[in-house]
Amino acid sequence: MPMVVQQLIRWFFSMKPMAGSFLCALLVVSALGVAYSSHQTRNMYRDLQQLEKDHDDLEHEYEKLLLEQSAWADYTRLNELAQDKLEMAVPETREMVVLR
């Protein structure tokens, strides 16, 4: 065993029992804190990935809705609806009045 490690072990066990116990407890609490923060980081990263997937899905849905809206507002479709449902017709030339 390296000399430094042996000196650390001797120093640690030569201290009063209360100080050694305190350092051990501090070490355990620190290790638990690291484990907990790693767990929280993984959970938050998983949540971030899910939110990004949801965002992409919504973007895709929005693009589809824009295409559908442009299809519903197409001039040809509106012209057919005006002729079929409202019985509208394009006026003939003799029926037109030009204002100056």
Dist CA 62 CA 56 (whole Å): 10
* Each residue's pLDDT tens digit, 8-45: 777 767 766 667 778 888 999 999 999 999 999 999 99
Query: Which stretches within the chain are classed as H helix?
Result: 3-14, 17-72, 75-84
User: How many beta carbons lie within 10 A of that of residue 20, not counting itself?
Assistant: 13
pTM tops 0.85 = no
Q: Which residue has the higher pLDDT, 75 or 18?
A: 75
Cα gap 100→92, rounded to integer Å: 19
Residue boundaries of the structural domains of the chain: 14-85
